[in-house]
Amino acid sequence: MSLVIDSNLEYLQAALNISAVKMQEDYANMSVDEIIEAEAAQGNQQAIKLAQELLSNVNLVMELFDLADNNNKYMILRELTAYQLQKFLPEMEEKDLLQGLYFFTDDKLMKMLEELPPEQLVNTVFEMFSQEEIVQLMPDEQLNKFLTSTDIDKNKILKHMQSIPEEYVAQVLEQIMGEPVKSMNSIDLSKQFGQLNPLEFQDGLKAFQPTQKQQLVLSLAKEHNEWFQLFDAHAYTKIINREKQIIGFWDIETGKF
């Protein structure tokens, strides 16, 4: 399949000193290369010189093929193989790479974000949402996943649990143990929580109301920002997709959201 892009024929006409009538009558359906070749065959010295320059003059190539035009850039890139793209993309200017994101659909951008390393994904999300907003927007199953993660030390959870109003902790304990608690002191309540067996401990964490879960998760994650990586990548992209118009929120000048 041949590649078709919009070339700068006015520039070519001036460079080769060709009349508008000749361009229209003889070269209307020809490409830049074909016009230069035809003129060179007729002895046009400008065409001969231009053909030689095309091999080494990058600015000339950009002007003739109007490579400042985004559609032309896209048409060229889409014809490259995966191997060629892998070699070519690192050579592109960062602004051009960022501009290329405008050719992605929202679904493709979400997929791309999900494939980022967890730390990069979280840092990107931090540019769009505050930590409080992230936790508030996370679905309940993600809060449960966070709180029951083996990456978080049990003692850390018990320490931060003391910031939750005592009546909510007591309510969960009574639900799990099936009997009234003996003390409403926050320290005593967290100690009782810590004495639950592993399964009861996890069930107790899941039994908190969403507001209390959010409070506990936020308190923990603020102390250890890396724990925001415990949320699934698809949970983040669902939030972004639901809450933000990603292209409209993205600043091409800075490359940030």
Instruction: Give me the residues paired with residue 256 across strands.
Output: 251
- Amino acid symbol at 137: L
Q: What is the mean pLDDT of residues 203-213?
A: 96
State the Cα–Cα distance between residues 234 and 244, nearest whole angstrom.
15
185-202 pLDDT, tens digit each: 999 999 999 999 999 999
What is the reported pLDDT for 3? 40
Return d(Cα 83, Cα 85) in angstroms, integer.
5
Q: Which residue did the predictor score with more confidence, 179 or 62?
A: 179
Residue 86 burial (CB < 10 Å; 0-12/13-18/19+)? exposed
Task: Work out the pLDDT band at 252, boundaries 50, 70, 90.
Answer: very low
Tokens 């003391």 found at: 162
Q: Which residue has the higher pLDDT, 57 or 31?
A: 31
Whole-number average pLDDT of the chain: 82
pLDDT at 10 over 90: no
Position 109 scores a pLDDT of: 78
Specify whether the backbone of 255 is left (phi greater than 0), alpha (psi in -120 to 50) or beta.
left
Kindly state the DSSP code that residue 188 receives in the 8-state scheme: H
Domain positions in the chain: 1-92, 139-230
Q: What is the pLDDT of residue 247?
A: 43
- List the structure tokens of 110: 């979400």
| More confidently predicted of 164 and 13 | 164
For residue range 125-154, list pLDDT tens digits in order: 998 899 999 999 999 999 999 999 999 999
